[in-house]
Amino acid sequence: MEISELKAELEKLHHASFGWALNCCRHNRSEAEEVLQTVYLKILQGKAIYRGESKLQTWLFAVIRKTAATEHRKQVLRSLITLGSPAEKSSSEPELELEWSELQRRFRQALAGLSKRQRETLHLVFYQDLSVAEAAAVMNISIGSARRHYERGKKRLRESLDREGVDYGIQWRRKENSGVVL
Amino acid sequence: MEFSGDEKRIQALFSELSLEDQTRAPRFEKLWLRAEASASAPAPLVTRLVLVATVVIVTMSFVAVHSWLSSSQSQQVANIPAQIIPTTAGLRLQHSEPSTASRNVARPRRFARRQTDRTAITQAAMLSNWQSPTNILLNSPTVSVLGSLPQLNQSARDLEQFLPKKNNELLKESKQ
């Protein structure tokens, strides 16, 4: 695929890619931006080559996931060397948290309570609208494992939301998001 | 993917999250241009420094290994027993030491001479211990017989031992 063609395709997937990068970076916006930029750099330098063996989205998401993991590892190492701030940053910026509604905050908390794999599977299926098989390909695990993470994650999320008393589905939506069909 | 019941509700929550993220997503062009700029930029100074440091470390380790190997070889030479080698090299090594001023100047030359002496010592030791591969053919069990001279009348005396005693006495009597 030509680089101009690839660029056009990447532009179409940009928002979805950013959402996935956010998920991989524990909803840290600046980190997600950096990861996405590194991914584009890898593509430009030919370090990440799309060979058409899978869907472009699946391939791109796998690259983002791997890059985010590498960046996170580097960050942990850097913090260990400098003995400075702890490796885990706060999951999101405080000014953003102020804008979130109570229900949205609870939903994010419930998501944070899941294991990494469960969160990733649910994100890929519900947020990115991928099938479980495609999610498995992105996460580089078997379909069986992905299905197991999906089921367990869904169950835990439901329990967590029930515990929090979130009437999810009706009251949670904001005014500007009235287009969402339940 | 088709959802039903709770799944639809969870998807609604995720859709909300997606909309929230989309409003805050950076522009594609911004990230792409930044990536392009980084791709065309030369390697950062840190990378170059790391490269130079790696080359220096590799060279130094090579030199260290080389010098260690040469020193171990000279130690092997020193292990040869001294009594085997009656050479003048040992005497030459025991020369009186020069003054400290000339010591530094003469060091490389002395080092070279020592090296040649050591080589000569090794070669001399090897030559003195050399044995021909056909040497074993010269040895035989009869070497002692062949290597000694017989005594006068030895054969007659040997014969006397085998002659019967009575006959001898009879012979003496008849003679008388």
Residue B164 lies in a domain: no
| Cα–Cα nearest to B120, from B155, B148, B80, B149 | B80
Query: Shortest CB distance from A169 goes to which of B12, B21, B28?
Result: B12
A168 pLDDT higher than 60: no
What's the confidence (pLDDT) of residue A39? 94
Q: B42 to chain A, minimum CA–CA distance in Å? A: 13
Q: In angstroms, how far is CA B34 from the centroid of its own chain?
A: 56
Q: Are residues B49 and B28 in the same domain?
A: no
Q: Are residues B35 and B3 in the same domain?
A: yes
Contact residues on chain B for A36, CB-CB shorter than 8 A = 26, 31
d(CA A145, CA A143): 5
d(CA A101, CA A90): 19
Tell me the C-alpha to C-alpha distance, in Å, between residue B48 and each of A70, B43, B52, B58. 21, 7, 6, 15
Residue B149 lies in a domain: no
Q: Are residues B53 and B116 in the same domain?
A: yes
Question: Which of the listed ranges B110-114, B118-122, B138-142, B147-151 does the model predict with the highest average pLDDT?
Answer: B118-122
Q: Are residues B65 and B119 in the same domain?
A: yes
Contact B12 A33 (CB under 8 A): no
Q: Are residues B67 and B113 in the same domain?
A: yes
pLDDT tens-digit map of B43-85: 667 778 888 999 999 999 999 999 888 887 766 655 555 555 5
Q: Are residues B37 and B52 in the same domain?
A: no
Taken in order B70, B75, B80, B85, is the CA torsion positive or negative? Answer: positive
The token pair that represents A41 in the structure block: 């750099």
pLDDT tens-digit map of A64-106: 999 999 999 988 888 888 765 554 454 555 666 666 677 778 8
Spell out the domains of chain A, with CATH numbers in brackets: 1-92 (1.10.1740), 100-164 (1.10.10.10)
Q: Are residues B121 and B59 in the same domain?
A: yes
**B120 and B90 Cβ atoms separated by less than 8 Å:** no
B161 pLDDT higher than 50: yes
Tell me the C-alpha to C-alpha distance, in Å, between residue A64 and each of A38, A57, A124, A176. 9, 10, 13, 30
Query: Range of B59's domain?
Result: 45-82+106-127
B20 pLDDT higher than 50: yes
Query: Shortest CB distance from B26 goes to which of A7, A33, A122?
Result: A33
Per the structure, the count of domains in chain B is 2
B134 pLDDT higher than 60: yes
Residue B156 lies in a domain: no
Q: Are residues B76 and B110 in the same domain?
A: yes
Contact residues on chain A for B7, CB-CB shorter than 8 A = 126, 154
Which residues, in sequence order, are CB contacts of A38 under 8 Å at separation 6+?
A67, A71, B35
Q: Does A48 touch chain B (CB under 8 A)?
A: no
Question: Number of CB pairs < 8 Å for A and B?
Answer: 99
Residue B53 lies in a domain: yes
Q: Are residues B36 and B4 in the same domain?
A: yes
- Of the given ranges (A63-77, A102-116, B39-53, B111-125), which has the lowest mean pLDDT? B39-53
